[in-house]
């Protein structure tokens, strides 16, 4: 009844994955740096310690970059999507009515059957009833 094929968002999900991956890699490199740095007086461990420190710094900076990208992409997604939930509906199946005497414009989706429309209307009424009682 509610099967909607959602297109790929503008990449906020990928930016969020970048944040998580950067945090995990930074934590791993921090632990590795803590293990290797006491042995940095050896020539081999000095190079490894320096690389671990540099890569940890790189991934720390990627956390900031990913966070900024995530916020920017979320902003673009919410500003470019028709926020009433009709972004994936066929435009021929959307009807508008209004404005009425209270300056309300009604936007609705045409359903295939009366039962489906009544089910959705009941669910919306219940949701609005819960929202009005909590406010």
Q: 22-54: per-residue pLDDT in tens?
A: 999 999 999 998 888 887 787 778 888 888 889
CA count, 13 A, side-chain hemisphere, 3: 1
Q: What percent of the chain has pLDDT over 90?
A: 25
Contact 111, 117 (CB under 8 A): yes
- In the predicted model, is pLDDT for residue 57 greater than 50? yes
Task: Please give the pLDDT value at position 8.
Answer: 55
A 10 A CB-CB count for 68 gives 11
- In the predicted model, is pLDDT for residue 95 greater than 50? yes
Contact 51, 32 (CB under 8 A): no
Highest mean pLDDT: which of 6-15, 66-75, 98-107, 117-126?
66-75
- In the predicted model, is pLDDT for residue 16 greater than 80? yes
């Amino acid at each position: 009844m509610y099967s909607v094929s959602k297109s790929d968002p503008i990449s906020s999900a990928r930016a969020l994955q970048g944040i998580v991956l950067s945090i995990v890699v930074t934590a791993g490199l921090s632990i590795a740096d803590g293990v290797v740095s006491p042995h940095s007086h050896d020539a081999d461990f000095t190079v490894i310690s320096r690389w671990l420190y540099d890569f940890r710094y790189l991934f720390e900076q990627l956390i900031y970059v990913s966070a900024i990208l995530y916020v920017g992409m979320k902003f673009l997604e919410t500003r470019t999507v028709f926020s009433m939930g009709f972004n994936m509906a066929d435009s021929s199946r959307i009807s508008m009515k209004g404005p009425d005497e209270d300056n309300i414009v009604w936007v609705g989706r045409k359903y295939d059957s009366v039962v489906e429309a009544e089910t959705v209307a009941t669910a919306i009424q219940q949701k609005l009833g819960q929202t009005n009682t909590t406010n």
